Amino acid sequence: MKIVVGSTSKHKLLAVEHVFKKIFHSETIQVEGAKVLSEINEQPIGHEETIIGVLNRLDSVKNFSKNIFDYAIAIENGLFEVKINNEERWFDIAWVVVEDSSGNKSLATSSGLEFSKNFVSETRRRGFKTTTVGSIIAEKTGCDDSDPQLFLTNNLVSRMEMLKQALEIALGQLQKDLVNKQL
């Protein structure tokens, strides 16, 4: 089974590999990552921009693979503002899209993780176009800039773990929708 992923991030590729091996344990799983662009800000803000980015990545990886895949996957993390008692709070959430070779798609999100508004403010100052909150967190704390989630959860939950659940939800929904279409 060939799975193409619109990323070369080790966290994303390992999450995809783990989920597909868990669900399709009797299949040979081949996960191929491709560096593709989201064509949005480096740090997307809000659902609309993040979804545009994830769908752009999906289209790009499908073109990259010349549409030869069993599943195509794209993942895009975004930053989401929530007002709680008139206080600005910011959460990192990943949007995941899974598409099968017949063009059936399913989208899901990861759980959210709060990012300090101090980190967000510094990212905004430098510009969301070129700077991510994860890079600012890493600069200030020395953590892995590709997995600030692990640092921020006191080594309890990694980015990969957060992505695995979102992938399982998207893939499970896609499979359920296909079964329902056959009934």
Q: Residue 113: count other Cβ atoms within 10 Å of its Cβ.
A: 18
CB 163 within 8 A of CB 94: yes
Query: What is this structure's pTM?
Result: 0.94
pLDDT of residue 120: 98
Is the per-residue pLDDT at 2 higher than 80?
A: yes
Among 100, 96, 73, smallest CA distance to 166 is for 96
pLDDT of residue 175: 87
Q: Is the Cα torsion angle 17, 148, 111, 55 positive or negative in sign?
A: negative
Q: How far apart are CA 35 and CA 85, in angstroms?
A: 41
Q: Which domain holds residue 49?
A: 2-182
Query: What is the domain count for the chain?
Result: 1
pLDDT 10s digits, 121-149:
999 999 999 999 999 999 999 999 999 99
Among 180, 47, 16, smallest CA distance to 112 is for 47
Interior/surface letters 114-137, b for 16+ CB within 10 angstroms, e for the rest:
ebeeebbebbbeeebeebbbbbbb
pLDDT band for position 29 (cuts 50, 70, 90): very high
Q: For 159, phi and psi rounded to 5 degrees?
A: -60, -40
CATH number at residue 96: 3.90.950.10
pLDDT 10s digits, 83-100:
999 999 999 999 999 999
